[in-house]
Amino acid sequence: MRISSPITIIALAQLLGTSLWFSANSAAEDLVLSWQISVTDVGWLTNAVQGGFILGTLVLALGGIADRFRASHIFIASALAGALFNACFAWLADGLTSAMVFRFLVGVCLAGIYPMGMKLIVSWEPDRAGAALAQLVAMLTLGTALPHGLREAGAGLPWQWIITASSLLALVAAALVYYLGDGPHLPQPQKQPATKTRRITEPAVFQAFRIPRFRAAAWGYFGHMWELYAFWAMVPLLVSSTVLPEQLPALGIPGLSFTIIAAGALGCVIGGTLSRKFGSGPVALTALATSGCCALVFALLWDRLPAAGVAALLLLWGATVIADSPQFSALSAAACPRELVGAALAIQNSIGFAITVVAISGASALFERIGPSAVWLLLPGPVIGLLGFILTQRRAGSTDT
């Protein structure tokens, strides 16, 4: 009980802190009407967050910040700053340009929330890092869905108040981590010269990608990332284009979007449980293949399926599209020597989120032209991820468990 309590607190803080991520998407319809912007422009708001996250993770990884300061301190400062910039977006932004600036800054702050949550997990219970990581990604998924739930709960409120609610939740996240602090299983932060940090980090990046098992996991992860965030960004658009809002008016588009994205939390938990029996590789590949099949079926039949069929398909897609993420990360970590894990995973995350920028932009622009059939653009992600993983493993003459 003494050990599980910190993990629960960190997971809850992750849930509340990452509610900042898609807070703007929950107000997409209001923003289109208020600012006279397009669906593509809403996609750029999402990409601004992704761009900030990429920059933030690179600074943390290559600048040595994560090693020179306590993980809890970085998490708290990031959650406080993220809450502030998110509130500025709600109340000070008056158009797309200023909105993108504030969303970019929110993304930078999220780089100190999500990765530092993983480091806090390791600091409290390194022996259960794999299972705990699945729990953490489940909370990230719920955090992503949470703004849509807030939008549904406050349907009669102005969109600014809904987004401000995410800022308040991030403040609670900072308070939880302040109460908890760092765990006992990491060394004290070491202050090192920047030149020494560069000498350690740069070779680590190249060495990691020379390891076949790491490259295989990275292929799977990159394919997964092409699909994941573009799908999450498109969920409200996909829902609004189907028969679901008409058949399930009580939930509304925000409520349906919350349910579909939140299904990923259950997928992560189930995947983490199955990985202990079958291994991370089979679980990750099965989830990636299933989400790819969902994309294919939706692209072909979205306008022909009955409401129950559309709902079941989107729920399955929401559950499997994220379930492979913690398993690919676990495979990457297991493939690297201990001294390379931090830098290698940071670079993998940065590349993965850079991929999401391209996918979100392309999917948003294509949706404006052809509607829900734009999900065809997501399908190459699972295909390339599966082929890259399997072929790289086969070339290396090894199988992953």
Helix H, strand E, coil C: the string for the chain is: CCCHHHHHHHHHHHHHHHHHCCCCHHHHHHHHHHHCCCHHHHHHHHHHHHHHHHHHHHHHHHCCHHHHCCHHHHHHHHHHHHHHHHHHHHHCCCCHHHHHHHHHHHHHHHCCCHHHHHHHHHHHCHHHHHHHHHHHHHHHHHHHHHHHHHHHHCCCCCHHHHHHHHHHHHHHHHHHHHHHCCCCCCCCCCCCCHHHHHHHHHHHHHHHHCCHHHHHHHHHHHHHHHHHHHHHHHHHHHHHCCCHHHHCCCCHHHHHHHHHHHHHHHHHHHHHHHHHHHCHHHHHHHHHHHHHHHHHHHHHHCCCCCHHHHHHHHHHHHHHHHHCHHHHHHHHHHHCCHHHHHHHHHHHHHHHHHHHHHHHHHHHHHHHHHHHHHHHHHCHHHHHHHHHHHHHHHHHCCCCC
Please tell me the predicted confidence (pLDDT) of residue 87: 96
pLDDT at 2 over 70: no
- Average pLDDT on 350-371 reads 91
Q: Model confidence at 342, in pLDDT bands (50, 70, 90)? A: low
Whether 241 and 208 share a structural domain: yes
Please tell me the predicted confidence (pLDDT) of residue 188: 61
Q: Which of 63-77, 119-133, 317-331 has the largest mean confidence?
A: 317-331
| pLDDT tens track for 96-105 | 999 999 999 9
Please tell me the predicted confidence (pLDDT) of residue 197: 43
Which of 116, 148, 183 marks a domain boundary?
183
Whether 166 and 234 share a structural domain: no
- Average pLDDT on 232-254 reads 88
Please tell me the predicted confidence (pLDDT) of residue 221: 95
For 34, 158, 298, the CA distances from 47, given in Å and listed in that order, are 20, 24, 24
Whether 168 and 37 share a structural domain: yes
pLDDT higher for 47 or 125?
47
Whether 179 and 203 share a structural domain: no
Matching residue, tokens 């293949």: 289
pLDDT at 111 over 70: yes
Whole-angstrom Cα distance, residue 122 to residue 139? 16
How many distinct structural domains can be found in the chain? 2
- Average pLDDT on 295-307 reads 94
Question: What residue numbers bound the domain in which 373 lies?
Answer: 192-401
| pLDDT tens track for 211-242 | 899 999 999 999 999 999 999 989 999 999 99
Which of 145, 164, 183 marks a domain boundary?
183
Please tell me the predicted confidence (pLDDT) of residue 363: 92
Please tell me the predicted confidence (pLDDT) of residue 318: 96
Whether 4 and 134 share a structural domain: yes
Q: What is the pTM of this model?
A: 0.79
pLDDT at 315 over 90: yes
Say which amino acid occupies 224.
H
pLDDT at 167 over 90: yes
Question: Between 4-17 and 71-91, two packed helices, what is the crossing angle to 10 degrees?
Answer: 30
Burial classification of residue 335, based on how many CB atoms lie within 10 Å of its CB (0-12 exposed, 13-18 middle, 19 or more buried): buried
pLDDT at 194 over 70: no
Please tell me the predicted confidence (pLDDT) of residue 195: 45
What's the chain's average pLDDT?
Answer: 85
Whether 156 and 268 share a structural domain: no
Please tell me the predicted confidence (pLDDT) of residue 130: 60
pLDDT at 202 over 80: no
Please tell me the predicted confidence (pLDDT) of residue 60: 80
Which of 161, 183, 205 marks a domain boundary?
183
pLDDT at 203 over 50: no
CATH number of 205's domain: 1.20.1250.20
Q: Is 189 left (phi over 0), alpha (psi -120 to 50) or beta?
A: beta
Please tell me the predicted confidence (pLDDT) of residue 140: 81
pLDDT at 401 over 90: no
Please choose, from the candidates 320, 301, 306, 324, the residue with its C-alpha nearest in 3D space to the C-alpha of residue 375: 301
Whether 178 and 247 share a structural domain: no
- Average pLDDT on 314-324 reads 96
- Average pLDDT on 379-397 reads 91
Whether 257 and 401 share a structural domain: yes
- Average pLDDT on 124-147 reads 77
Whether 155 and 225 share a structural domain: no
Q: For residue 398, how many other CB atoms are within 10 A of its CB?
A: 12
pLDDT at 57 over 70: yes
Please choose, from the candidates 18, 1, 275, 19, the residue with its C-alpha nearest in 3D space to the C-alpha of residue 133: 275
Please tell me the predicted confidence (pLDDT) of residue 400: 43
Whether 206 and 324 share a structural domain: yes
Whether 111 and 241 share a structural domain: no
Q: How far is CA 208 from the centre of its chain?
A: 23
For 207, 233, 335, 387, 388, the CA distances from 394, given in Å and listed in that order, are 20, 34, 15, 10, 10
pLDDT higher for 363 or 336?
363
Whether 176 and 198 share a structural domain: no
Q: For residue 178, how many other CB atoms are within 10 A of its CB?
A: 15
